[in-house]
Chains A and B, each alone.
Chain A
Amino acid sequence: LAKTTQPISMDSYEGQEVNITCSHNNIATNDYITWYQQFPSQGPRFIIQGYKTKVTNEVASLFIPADRKSSTLSLPRVSLSDTAVYYCLVGAAGAGSYQLTFGKGTKLSVIP
C-alpha cells in the first residue's frame, strides 16, 4: 500500500499558478495517481487522474516523472474559489481486494 506525503498547507495569490507535489515512493506498478479537491462541509471531488507523463483537463494538469515516485498537481491561475484541501491518492488494484488510502491533504489558501 503506497503511502503519500504532501505539504500540509500552501498559500498563493489570486491569478498565480499553484503546484502541489505528492511523494509516493512505494507506488506499485498497477497504481494510478488521483487527486481530489474538498471544500468545507462537502465530500471530496475528483479533479484528475494519471498513470505516467502528463495529463491535462479543463481544471488542472498532472505531471508524473518517469520513476512515478512523485506527482505534481498544477492549478493554473487560481482564484479565491480554489481555496480547499487537495488530496493525493495512490490506490492498490486487484480483483477481490480493495484498499484506498487518503493522506492528510494539502490545505490551499488563495489570497486576494
Chain B
Amino acid sequence: DAGITQSPRHKVTETGTPVTLRCHQTENHRYMYWYRQDPGHGLRLIHYSYGVKDTDKGEVSDGYSVSRSKTEDFLLTLESATSSQTSVYFCAISQGTGSDQPQHFGDGTRLSIL
C-alpha cells in the first residue's frame, strides 16, 4: 500500500475551535488531495495541491484552508469548526494530474464537532 499516514485518526472538538489535520506521504508524489466523505454524498474533493505551496480549491472548499510547505506534508485546517464539518476526511496522493494516474488514499480521520 502507498505510504500515506493521516493524523490524528480520530478527533472530537467543539464548535468554533480551530482544527488541523495532517497528511504525510513517503512516496514523493507531486499531487495531494483532501476529501470528505459523508453518508449519501460519497467522496467530495475539498482542496488539492500540485506542488509545494501550490494549491487549489475543489468542490467543497468553503470553511477549509490548506498548506503544503514540504512535498511530504499536506495540512487541512478548519479555522473555526462547525457541526456541518463533522465527517470522515481522507487524504490522497498521485504521481500525475491526468485521470490515468490513480489516486491512493490514506485510512482517514474521523472528525466530530460538537
Contacts and interface: CB of A to CB of B under 8 A. Distances in A.
A94 B58 CA distance: 15
Interface string A79-108: 000000001011111111111111111000
A103 B99 contact: no
Given A98-B48, A100-B45, A46 B100 contact: no
A51 B100 CA distance: 8
B64 interface: no
Interface of A: 30-32, 34, 41-46, 49, 51, 87, 89-105
B79 interface: no
The 9 A-B residue pairs with the shortest CB-CB distance in the complex, in nearest-first order? A91-B99, A43-B105, A93-B98, A102-B43, A32-B99, A32-B100, A104-B42, A46-B102, A102-B42
A27 B77 CA distance: 33
B80 to A, nearest CB: 27
Interface of B: 1, 4, 31, 33, 35, 40-45, 48, 50, 56, 58-59, 90, 92, 97-100, 102-108
A49 B106 contact: no
Nearest to A103: B42
A43 B58 contact: no
Given A32-B98, A93-B98, A99-B58, 9 more contacts: A30-B99, A34-B99, A46-B103, A49-B102, A51-B100, A87-B42, A98-B48, A98-B97, A100-B99
